[in-house]
Amino acid sequence: MNQRWRLIALWLLPIGMVLLLTWQILGNSQVNSIKANNDSIAPRNTAIARMSYGRFLDYVDAGRVTAVDIYNGGTNAVVEAVDPELDNRVQRIRVDLPGLAPELITRLKDEGISFDIHPERKTPPALGIAGNLLFPIFLIGGLILLARRSNSMPGGPGQAMQFGKTKARFAMEAETGVKFDDVAGVSEAKQDLQEVVTFLKQPERFTSIGAQIPKGVLLIGPPGTGKTLLAKAIAGEAGVPFFSLSGSEFVEMFVGVGASRVRDLFKRAKENSPCLIFIDEIDAVGRQRGAGIGGGNDEREQTLNQLLTEMDGFEGNSGIIIIAATNRPDVLDSALMRPGRFDRQVSVDAPDIKGRLSILKVHSRNKKLSENLSLENIARRTPGFTGADLANLLNEAAILTARRRKDSISLSEIDDAVDRIIAGMEGQPLTDGKSKRLIAYHEVGHALIGTLVKDHDPVQKVTLIPRGQAKGLTWFSPDDDQMLVTRAQLEARIMGALGGRAAEDVIFGRQEVTTGAGGDIQQVASMARQMVTRFGMSKLGPVSLEGDSQEVFLGRDLMTRNDISDSIARQIDEQVRQMVMNSYEKTLNIVKENREAMDKLVEVLIDKETMDGEEFKNILAKFTDVPEKERTVASLS
């Protein structure tokens, strides 16, 4: 309630201001119409002289009037008159007229005085008020917008009006305070970049023997792997200022703004050399010129050209090094990669298990972990996590710990945080009923296939507690950082994904299957399709039938999709269908053979809501043979 009032008050304030302004503007409307027609006339309150109509006639007689501008249907005028006593200096004087008298016009004509009648701008009164209202609304709206934008900028509100002159649009940090020690798990990239630190710190070591210091380094890697952090660490290690700007900020609504931003950035950098310029998301400006649907984008191309010009314009030894980051090197304009520009490329990949462990060490420095919590275990549980994910994981776990009023982070908080990051927030448990039973069978179906098919990743746990979009979940633990996936594994995954639907089908009947399997089926289709078109795992043989780019709209990929014939496309569809149907047959059979075990497992699951993989396996083993799965466990020495 309280908040509501505050909101109303917040709205009343600008409306009051609008009304006040309108009042004033209406009062001044006469002046306004003069001002509007002739910009050079100062408004009433600044010094413009007035004289009477009679005196004006005297001036005409004396031949001192050179020009007359008549406004408002002849009710007032601005007169240009010369003053013989002051070297014939021209004065502008306002006169109130009795109306547009024909005699006056004849008189002016006879005297050869140039005159002009400015038409009265007739606006219907309502519209006039509306116009007057709209203006302040826009103005106020505009001001609020500008103020908000500028708040987030280090330069402060004063610079918000300088479009294009964008001192405030890039950030400068004199000291980043980040060191290489703060970046973990990317040792190869760090080694490559160590050299850049030396370039910045002791350029003479290279220049004295005639070596050209490289100007640009391109960091390539998926989001969250620590590219920004690495760039900051370089500046921090070298002790130089860090200028940063994101590629998407270059691209503005107005053509030319981006280019002038680039100019400004380089100007400031030169004043502060040695220094480091960091351009994040360079693909936003650095896309292939002239590419994409509808041809190029003028603004982006101008910006890119300016960037290239600036990079060519400074000497390699001027103490400025530019580091750019992207996760889409494939769309970059090749001109960017030429020698003398971003000719060094360093890839920053998602960390492996050792990398994850060392990142966890960095981020747990300032956190309280309970004694029996091993970071190795967390690293094992999180294949595919990037540095940012891991930092987020520890933070979420710390928040959960605080919420549970514990004083150190334990495994259960870590587990919950992992689940939350992968699958979303936990929801309320379902109430017992038919749909809960159906979901239980569905999940048990996934877990059953996961446990019984030898090549499937082992089941970690099955749960009926909803999370994110899912009503129930079966978790599998994939092998530690397995780089390559076999055909048998892919087929097993397809069967596992179909396990949910197969269980619904067998237990509840073909008419009772639900939309809950939609996500599974989509996944199945995509896996099967890739097996056919990318991995050469079908009857069509080891032929690549599709590029790996899915984004038709970006960069240069536009035209590369149509290079397969209709007949091949039909064969692909046929293969995908066959593969999925075969897998579904096999899955149905496994479910049918294990009906009794499933009933038992569902009973336990509904009772406990969550069951771990080990328990699932033990119950299942009472009914049928369960294959052992050997895992390769990466060593962590």
Nearest-10 Cα torsion for 296, 300, 304, 305? 70
- Mention every residue, 6+ apart, whose C-beta is less than 8 A from residue 428: 466
Q: DSSP string of 438-456?
A: HHHHHHHHHHHHHHHSTTS
Among 104, 168, 185, 430, binds ligand ADP (CB under 6 A): 185
Of 111-119, 225-233, 314-322, 569-577, which segment contacts ligand ADP by CB under 6 A?
Answer: 225-233
CA 563 to chain centre: 32
Q: Is the peptide bond before 274 cis (omega within 30 degrees of 0)?
A: yes
The reply to whether 236 sits near ligand ADP by the rule CB under 6 A is no
Q: How far apart are CA 536 and CA 490, in angstroms?
A: 13
Stretch that binds ligand ADP, among 14-22, 107-115, 180-188, 284-292 (CB under 6 A): 180-188
Crossing angle between the packed helical segments 566-593 and 434-452, to the nearest 10 degrees: 100
By DSSP bridging, strand 275-280 and strand 242-246 are: parallel
Distance in Å, CB of 503 to Zn ion, minimum:
9
Q: How far is CA 548 from CA 236, 531, 543, in A?
A: 38, 12, 13
Which amino acid is it at 436? K
Answer for the pair 473, 480: CB distance below 8 angstroms, yes or no. no
Tell me which of 223, 427, 429, 547 binds ligand ADP, using CB under 6 A. 223
Q: Which of 249, 281, 443, 491 is catalytic?
A: 443
CB of 280 to Mg ion, least distance (A): 5
Q: Can you tell me the distance from the alpha carbon of 231 to that of 240, in angstroms, rounded to the nearest whole number?
A: 11
Binding segment toward ligand ADP, per CB under 6 A, in 139-147, 177-185, 258-266, 405-413:
177-185
Per partner kind, with CB cut-offs from 5 to 8 A, the member of Mg ion, Zn ion, ligand ADP, none near residue 520 is Zn ion
397 binds ligand ADP (CB under 6 A): no
Q: Does 186 bind ligand ADP (CB under 6 A)?
A: yes
Check if 315 is active-site: no
| Lookup result for tokens 């003028």 | 298
Say how far apart CA 448 and CA 440 lie, in whole Å.
12
Q: Which does 225 bind (CB under 5 to 8 A by kind): Mg ion, ligand ADP, Zn ion, none?
A: ligand ADP
**By CB under 5 A, how many residues form the interface with Mg ion?**
1
Q: Which of 170/441 has CB closer to Zn ion?
A: 441
Q: Whole-number minimum distance, CB 180 to ligand ADP, in Å?
A: 10
Which of 136, 258, 500, 555 is the binder for Zn ion (CB under 5 A)?
500
Q: Report the half-sphere exposure of 547 (CA within 13 A, side-chain side).
A: 13
CA atoms within 13 A on the CB side of 38: 22
Sheet with 89-96, side-by-side order of all strands: 49-51, 89-96, 76-83, 65-71, 114-117
Min dist CB 327 to Mg ion, Å, is 9
In this structure, how many other beta carbons lie within 10 angstroms of the beta carbon of residue 434?
Answer: 9
* Residue whose CB is less far from ligand ADP, 321 or 324: 324
Do residues 151 and 143 touch, judged by C-beta distance below 8 A?
Answer: no
Closest residue by Cα to residue 285 from 340, 245, 343: 245
Which of Zn ion, Mg ion, ligand ADP, none is residue 258 near (CB under 5 to 8 Å by kind)? none
Q: Which stretch binds Zn ion (CB under 5 A): 151-159, 164-172, 299-307, 518-526?
A: 518-526
228 binds Mg ion (CB under 5 A): yes
- By the rule CB under 6 A, 362 interacts with ligand ADP: yes
Q: Mask of contacts with Mg ion, 60-99, x by CB under 5 A?
A: ----------------------------------------
- Assess 394 for contact with ligand ADP (CB under 6 A): no
The reply to whether 225 sits near ligand ADP by the rule CB under 6 A is yes
Site string for Mg ion, 274-293 (x = CB under 5 A): --------------------
Binding-site partner at residue 220 among ligand ADP, Zn ion, Mg ion, none, CB < 5 to 8 Å by type: none
Question: What does 420 bind: Mg ion, Zn ion, ligand ADP, none (CB cut-off 5 to 8 Å by kind)?
Answer: none
Rounded Cα–Cα distance for residues 232 and 338 (Å): 25
Question: Given candidates 129, 335, 337, 388, which one binds ligand ADP under the rule CB under 6 A?
Answer: 388
Provide the edge-to-edge strand list for the sheet that holds 344-347: 171-173, 242-246, 275-280, 320-326, 216-220, 344-347
Which residue of 249, 299, 301, 520 would you call a contact of Zn ion, by CB under 5 A? 520
- Residues 6 or more apart in contact with residue 528 via CB below 8 angstroms: 494, 576, 579, 580
Going 122 to 123 to 124 to 125, the CA torsion angle's sign is: negative
Among 63-71, 218-226, 238-246, 620-628, the segment contacting ligand ADP (CB under 6 A): 218-226
CB of 510 to ligand ADP, least distance (A): 47
Amino acid, single-letter form, for residue 300: R
Measured distance CA(59)–CA(44) in Å, rounded: 22
Q: Is 171 in the site for ligand ADP (CB under 6 A)?
A: no
Q: Which residues pair with 122 in a beta bridge?
A: none
- What's the CA gap between 328 and 416, in Å, rounded? 33
Nearest to ligand ADP of 18, 230 (CB atom): 230
Nearest-approach distance from CB 473 to Zn ion, in angstroms: 8
Q: Count residues contacting ligand ADP (CB under 6 A)?
A: 17
215 and 248 Cβ atoms separated by less than 8 Å: no
Q: Whole-number minimum distance, CB 506 to Zn ion, in Å?
A: 15
Instruction: Name which of residues 316 to 345 contact ligand ADP (CB under 6 A).
Output: 325
Catalytic residue annotation: 443
* Residues at the site binding ligand ADP, with contacts judged by CB under 6 A: 183-186, 223-229, 325, 359, 362, 387-388, 391
* Residues at the site binding Mg ion, with contacts judged by CB under 5 A: 228
* Residues at the site binding Zn ion, with contacts judged by CB under 5 A: 500, 520
